[in-house]
Amino acid sequence: MARIGIAGAGVLGRLLAWRLSRAGHSVTVFDPAAGPAAPSTGHLHPGAPYAAGFTAAGMLSPMAELDNAGPVVARLGWRSLALWREVADTLRAEGNTVQLFAQHGSLMLAHGSDLGAARRVLARLGTAPSFAAELPAPQPLDRAELAALEPVLAPGLHAWLLGGEAQVMPRDMLQAMAAHAPRVHWRWGERVERVLPGVLHVAGEGPVHVDLAVDVRGVGARPDLALRGVRGEVIWLHAPGVTLQRPVRLLHPRHRVYIVPRPGDLFVVGASEIESEDRSPVSLRSAVELMAAAHSVIPELAEARIVHMEANLRPALPDNEPHIQAEPGLLRINGLFRHGWLLAPALVQDALETVGLPPAPLRGFPPPVPEGGHRLWPGQARSTAVLDDNLSHAHPC
Ligand SMILES: Cc1cc2nc3c(=O)[nH]c(=O)nc-3n(C[C@H](O)[C@H](O)[C@H](O)COP(=O)(O)OP(=O)(O)OC[C@H]3O[C@@H](n4cnc5c(N)ncnc54)[C@H](O)[C@@H]3O)c2cc1C
């Protein structure tokens, strides 16, 4: 049994704590947040910094993300789909009753006037290096097929099904991972100032010595890492009677807008991507653009109620790629940028194997069968090439 100290209780911190405590290790997690739940969901959110994971839409889109990420992200993401499903199934078997995960594929959509831009994106997906060839190809849908799949979508949209893509319910998943790791010592309201091999420097307390110090503080890991925050804004709509089975993403020359259905007749519309560390409330421009795009895709959203808006910062390293840094007594994982939910389980698995703490097997559920997908990715077992790609060294400031 190792003594492990984790700085940060976001997506990575909670997943690591849950997995390591199940493996019998003694785990303590420090986070300045007041507790495990999401901050209260007012209409606007001027509050103190908190995990980007709460704000995220929770799309698990390895293929769609090839539009603006490299094959490493796609490959890790494709592995993570099966891992999130296992996590959700295990949490359900342990008594969680809330829906945490759904896998019905996703749709890429384009209005006729934007077909040229959409085709350029699809061409990029098709020609992305090496790994892309092994992903299910986007499957074009004709008008009748689209209407059968998602009757609520505006007629006349061009559509492609990305089989196998999925979503998590971020707030519920974050809470469930904390609630089902009771042996973890959660130290809420405590900030870690530095993370060094075998030691976490806790504000107001001083050094806490451990066998392995883990730094997953997201944007809060400065100055140890050369991070920047990238602002993202989302809007929650409540629309009883409007039914959407799967996330949809609108291809547009200027915006990448997605609509993600959530339990309780909720829809998350997102997200802006702005090179700014401004955490102030959602701007009028972003709100108008996101909601106009959503309405153009689902006209029935006209009567939806705007129940929440939120802005947060995605943690990004200079190359926008995820990085694992492992050395004796120290593990850092960061730079998950716009793909943190997509990448976390595969990165955690690779990182724990790297530091000699392979995670205990989950319940051993069979791998998912992608709905509408043409084939399963053959490398669901972990790939050392991906690991090597990501075992780069942290960016010093
Ligand atoms: C608008 C938006 C939409 C997104 N949509 C998606 C999506 O659809 N799919 C997807 O895969 N990803 C999405 N993301 C990205 C995803 O949320 C992030 O990549 C992910 O949350 C990063 O996980 P993390 O654990 O590294 O950091 P975080 O989730 O940010 O967690 C970091 C934690 O560290 C804590 N912390 C900070 N400083 C300290 C300190 N000094 N000491 C101790 N703890 C500290 C914080 O309080 C926080 O709890 C989105 C992000 C945003 C903002």
- Assess if CATH 3.30.9.10 describes domain 3-390: yes
State mean pLDDT over 51-70.
Answer: 90
Query: What share of the chain has pLDDT > 70, as a percent?
Result: 87
Does position 346 have pLDDT exceeding 50, yes or no? yes
Residue with the bigger pLDDT between 296 and 71: it is: 296
Q: Quick check: CB of 77 below 6 Å from ligand 1?
A: no
Q: Which residue's alpha carbon is nearest to atom 38 within ligand 1?
A: 220
Least confident span in 208-217, 273-282, 353-362: 353-362
Answer yes or no: is pLDDT of 142 > 70: yes
Q: What is the DSSP letter of 40?
A: P
Query: For residue 143, how far is its CA from the centre of ligand 1 (angstroms)?
Result: 38
- The more confidently predicted of residues 1 and 304 is 304
Q: Would you state the pLDDT for residue 236?
A: 97
Q: What is the pLDDT of residue 359?
A: 75
Tell me, what's the pLDDT at 117? 80
Q: How far is the CA of 55 from the centre of ligand 1 (A)?
A: 8
Going from the Cα of 43 to the center of ligand 1, the distance in angstroms, rounded, reads 21
Residue 385 has pLDDT above 70, yes or no: no
In tens, the pLDDT along 147-201 reads: 999 999 999 999 999 999 999 999 999 999 999 997 999 999 999 999 999 999 9
Using the atom order of ligand 1, give the atom closest to the CA of residue 234. 1
Check pocket membership of 311 for ligand 1, CB cut-off 6 A. Answer: no
Residue 338 alpha carbon, nearest atom of ligand 1: 15
The protein residue whose alpha carbon is closest to atom 31 in ligand 1 is 10
pLDDT at res. 124 = 75
Q: What is the pLDDT of residue 119?
A: 83
The predicted pLDDT at position 118 comes to 81
Report which of 277, 263, 312 is spatially closest to residue 11, judged by C-alpha positions: 312
Listed by start position, the domains of the chain span 3-390
DSSP state, 96?
Answer: -
Q: How far is the CA of 302 from the centre of ligand 1 (A)?
A: 31
pLDDT reading at 243 higher than 70 = yes
Using pLDDT thresholds of 50, 70 and 90, give the confidence band for residue 309.
Answer: very high
For residue 135 the two structure tokens come to 């992903």
pLDDT surpassing 50 at residue 374? no
Alpha-carbon gap, residue 162 to 25, rounded angstroms: 39
Residue 96's φ and ψ, nearest 5 degrees, are -70, 135
Mean of per-residue pLDDT scores for the chain: 87
> Band of the pLDDT at 339, cuts 50, 70, 90?
very high
CA angle (177, 183, 188) in 5-degree steps = 70
Ligand 1 centre to CA of 48 (Å) is 14
So what's the pLDDT on residue 369? 37
Give 144's pLDDT tier (boundaries 50, 70, 90). Answer: very high
Q: Judge whether residue 17 has pLDDT over 50.
A: yes
SS3 assignment, position 56: coil
pLDDT at 77 over 60: yes
| CA quadruple 211, 213, 214, 219: dihedral, nearest 10 | 180
**Whole-angstrom Cα Rg for the chain:** 20
Q: Which residue has the tokens 């698990």?
A: 60
Cα 229 to ligand 1 centroid, rounded to whole Å? 10
Residue 236's beta-bridge partner residues?
268, 308
Tokens of 376: 């399963």
pTM, 2 dp? 0.90
**Whether residue 395 has pLDDT greater than 60:** no
pLDDT of residue 218: 97
Element (H, E) at 210: none
Nearest atom of ligand 1 to the alpha carbon of 313: 53
Query: Distance from the CA of 111 to the center of ligand 1, in angstroms?
Result: 32
Query: Which residue of 333, 338, 342 sits with most ligand 1 atoms within 8 Å of its CB, as the best mutation to test the pocket?
Result: 338
Ligand 1 proximity of 336 Cβ (cutoff 6 Å): yes
Number of Cβ within a 10 Å radius of residue 280: 11
Question: Which pLDDT does position 192 carry in this prediction?
Answer: 97
CA pair distance 83, 89, nearest whole angstrom: 10
Nearest atom, ligand 1, residue 343 CA: 11
Quick check: helix, strand or coil at residue 229? strand
Comparing 21-30, 130-139, 210-219, 252-261, the range with the smallest average pLDDT is 130-139
